[in-house]
Chains A and B, each alone.
Chain A
Amino acid sequence: MTEATIGTAASLHAEGDANAGAYRATARREQRWLGALAWPGLVLIGIVALAPIGWLSWMSFLDTDGFTLEHYRRLLDDNYMQTLKTTFEISFLVTAISVLLGYPLAYLIAEVRPRLGAFLLLLVLFPVWTSLLVRCYAWLVILQRRGVVNTWLQDAGLIEAPLRLMHNFTGTTIGMLHIMLPFMVLPLYASMRSIDRDYLRAAANLGASPVRAFWQVFVPLSLPGLFAGIVIVFVLCLGFYVTPALLGGGRVYMWSMQIERNVTYHADWGAASALGVVLLALTLAILWAIGRVIGFDRIVGSK
C-alpha cells in the first residue's frame, strides 16, 4: 500500500497560513491593474463631459445673490412653455410616424431572404453613416420654396404658388423623421429577427388566421424592440438641435435651441443650465422607466 497523505497536519500548514495574506494582496493588486486600464477613458469622460454637467446643475440654482429657484420658475413663463409644447409636439409626431413607417419596413426586412434582408439593411444604414448636415441640406434643396418639389409642381402646372414645406414645422418634422427612422427600424428589426418562427407555426396549427397570428403573437413578441425604438427616437427628438435649427426657419423653437440661444445670445447661463437640467432629468426618467420594463441592456445594445 502506498502511503497516503490525507487529512491535515498542523505543522505543514503553518507556512500555508502565512501565504493567505500574500495571496489576497496579489489578487488585489492584479484587480487594481486590470481596473486601471479603464481609468484613462473614464477620467476623460468624467472631466470633459460629466463634471461640467454637474457644474451646470449647480449653476442652475445660483444667481448673483446666491441660491435661487428663479431660473426654474422662469421656465413656467409663456415663451418657455411654448418651446416645451413645440418640442413635445414634434417629438411625439416624429416618433409616431416612425413607428407607422418603420414597423412595416422592419417587418419586411425581417421576412425576406437573409441576403436580400442584409442588402435592405445596408440601405437603411446608409443615411445613418451620411453626415447629418448633408441630409439637412438635401431636404432644404428638395422642399424649399424654390426647391425641387415646388419647381416640379409648378412646372407641371399642378400648383400656382409654391408650397410652404420648409423653414417651418412641416420641414422640420420631415427632416427629423428622416434622421430618426433608422433608429426605429434597427432595434425593431433586431427584435423581430429573434422571434422564433415556431410560435407562429404553433398559432397557425392551433387555428389562428395569419392576420390574427400576426396581431396576437408576432406583435406582442416584437414589443421589446418597439419600445427600445420608441425610447431612442423620442429621447433623441427631445434634445435634437441641428435639424430644427436649420430647417425650422426660426419658427420652430425646440428646447435645445432655447438652450443654445441662452448661451450664445443672452449669456444667461442660469436659464440655459436650468433648461438643460430639466431636459436631462426628463431624458433619464424616460430611459429609467422603459429600462424597468424591458431591461437596460437592450436600449444601449441596440445602438
Chain B
Amino acid sequence: MLGRPATETQITHGWRLWLYVLGALVLLFLILPSLLVVPLSFSDSRYLAFPPPGWSTRWYEAYFGAVEWRDATRTSFVAATLTMVVSTVLGTLAAYSLHVSQSKLMRVLYATFMLPLIIPGILIAIGIFLLFARLGLNNTLTGIVLAHSVMAIPLVVITVASGLKSYDLTQEMVARSLGASRPRAFLTVTLPQIRISVISGALLAFITSLDEVVISLFIAGGENATLTRRMFNALRDEIDPTIAAVSTLLIVLSVVLLGLMQMLQRRATTAGSTAAKTGA
C-alpha cells in the first residue's frame, strides 16, 4: 500500500507519509478543540477535568434556567434574523445593480462595499459606538441590527455577485422581450435562478451576526445584551461551565448551517451544469 504510486511522477505513498501525517495533525489541531467542548458540557464537575468524572446535564439546566442567558440568546437570534433579512435584501439589490450597471462609477462603488471587511473591526466598533452614542442607538436592537448589517452586507454582495457571474443575463432580456418590465423580469426569472447564492448569502449574514463579538461589546449591552457579549464577559471573569453548554449548542448550530451551505453548493453545481446545457 505504501509502495503504490500517488502521483504521475511515481512518488509513492510511502514517500508522502510525512505529508499525510502532518496534514492529519493540522486537521486535528483545527477540529479537536471545538469538539472537546461537547463532552465537557455534559460533565457534572465544576472543574474542567477531562475526561469528565461524571455525566450530567446540569450546565444545560443552568443555561436554560438563567434569565440572562435566555434573554441574551433571544436577543442574538432576533438580531441575527433581522440582520439576515436586511442585509440579504440590500446586499442582493446592490450586487444586482453593480452587475447590471454599465457605469464605471459602479466598479468603484463595489470597492466601497468591501470596506467593512478591510477596515479593522475594532476601529469600526468604536466608530459605531461614537455614532450611536450621538443617535441614542446604543444598547438598542435597532442599533445592533444596523451595525451587524453593515458587516454582513459585503458578504452577501460577494456571494450574490459570484452567483450572478455564472448567470446568463440574456434570460432577463428574453423576459423583457416577452413583455416583462425590468422589476418583473428580475423577480420571475433572475431571482429564482440565483436563489442559491441569495440563500447562501443569507445564511452567511445570519451566522456573521450571531457570532459578531467586537461591535457587540460596545453597543450591545444592558437589556439588549447579545449572547456573544455575555459569553465574552463570562470568559473574562470566570470559566463558568455553563459556557460549555452554550458552546455545544452553538457548535451544533454551526454544523447544521455549514451542512446547509454544502447542500446548496452541491445543488448549485448541478444546476450550473444544467444551465450550461440549456444555453446550448
User: Is there any pair of Cβ atoms, one from A and one from B, under 8 angstroms apart in the complex?
Assistant: yes
In contact, B118 and A287 (Cβ under 8 angstroms)? yes
Q: Is A138 interfacial (CB 8 A cutoff)?
A: yes
A38 to B106, CA, bound (A): 9
Known pairs A53-B127, A235-B118, A263-B126 / 17 extra A-B pairs, C-beta < 8 Å: A33-B182, A38-B109, A40-B90, A44-B149, A52-B127, A53-B119, A105-B27, A107-B19, A122-B258, A123-B31, A126-B30, A131-B211, A137-B239, A141-B50, A148-B36, A256-B121, A256-B122
The distance from the CB of A249 to the nearest CB of chain B, in whole angstroms, is 10
Interface size class of chain A, counting residues whose CB lies under 8 Å from the partner chain: 35 or more
19 contacts between A and B (CB under 8 A): A34-B101, A38-B109, A40-B93, A44-B153, A53-B123, A56-B126, A104-B26, A111-B6, A126-B31, A138-B36, A138-B37, A146-B48, A151-B49, A204-B9, A246-B236, A259-B122, A263-B218, A276-B120, A280-B120
Nearest 6 A/B pairs, CB to CB: A239-B120, A52-B127, A37-B97, A138-B33, A108-B23, A41-B90
Contacts of A142 in B (CB 8 A): 33, 36
In contact, A49 and B255 (Cβ under 8 angstroms)? no
A280 to B244, CA, bound (A): 35
In contact, A48 and B120 (Cβ under 8 angstroms)? no
A247 to B36, CA, bound (A): 18
In contact, A56 and B123 (Cβ under 8 angstroms)? yes
Partner of A133, one of B91, B103, B235: B235
A245 to B217, CA, bound (A): 12
Interface set, chain B 21-52, CB cutoff 8 A to A: 22-23, 26-27, 29-31, 33-34, 36-37, 40, 47-50
In contact, A178 and B29 (Cβ under 8 angstroms)? yes
Known: A37-B97, A123-B27, A241-B122. A111 touches B130 (CB 8 A): no
The distance from the CB of A234 to the nearest CB of chain B, in whole angstroms, is 12
Q: Is A158 interfacial (CB 8 A cutoff)?
A: no
Partner of B37, one of A52, A137, A296: A137
Partner of A45, one of B40, B153, B207, B257: B153
Q: Mask for A280-303, Cβ within 8 A of B = 1, else 0?
A: 100110010000000010001101
Q: Is B188 interfacial (CB 8 A cutoff)?
A: no
The distance from the CB of B180 to the nearest CB of chain A, in whole angstroms, is 15
Contacts of B119 in A (CB 8 A): 49, 53, 280, 283
Known: A41-B93, A137-B244, A146-B48. A104 touches B128 (CB 8 A): no
In contact, A246 and B235 (Cβ under 8 angstroms)? yes
In contact, A37 and B27 (Cβ under 8 angstroms)? no
Task: Tell which of B66-74, B192-200, B246-254 binds the partner.
Answer: B246-254
In contact, A241 and B121 (Cβ under 8 angstroms)? yes
Contacts of A56 in B (CB 8 A): 123, 126-127, 130
Question: From DSSP, what is the main secondary structure of chain B's interface residues?
Answer: helix
In contact, B235 and A137 (Cβ under 8 angstroms)? yes
Q: Is A238 interfacial (CB 8 A cutoff)?
A: yes
Known: A130-B251, A132-B211, A241-B122. A44 touches B115 (CB 8 A): no
In contact, B19 and A104 (Cβ under 8 angstroms)? yes
In contact, B121 and A49 (Cβ under 8 angstroms)? no
In contact, A134 and B37 (Cβ under 8 angstroms)? yes
Partner of B130, one of A52, A124, A152, A259: A52
Q: Is B274 interfacial (CB 8 A cutoff)?
A: no
Q: How many residues of B contact A (CB 8 A)?
A: 92
Interface set, chain A 42-56, CB cutoff 8 A to B: 42, 44-53, 55-56
Q: Is B112 interfacial (CB 8 A cutoff)?
A: yes
Q: Mask for A7-30, Cβ within 8 A of B = 1, else 0?
A: 000000000000000000000000
Contacts of A136 in B (CB 8 A): 235
In contact, A41 and B251 (Cβ under 8 angstroms)? no
In contact, B129 and A263 (Cβ under 8 angstroms)? yes
A256 to B116, CA, bound (A): 16
In contact, B131 and A303 (Cβ under 8 angstroms)? no
Q: Is A223 interfacial (CB 8 A cutoff)?
A: no
Partner of B122, one of A36, A40, A239: A239
Q: Is A129 interfacial (CB 8 A cutoff)?
A: yes
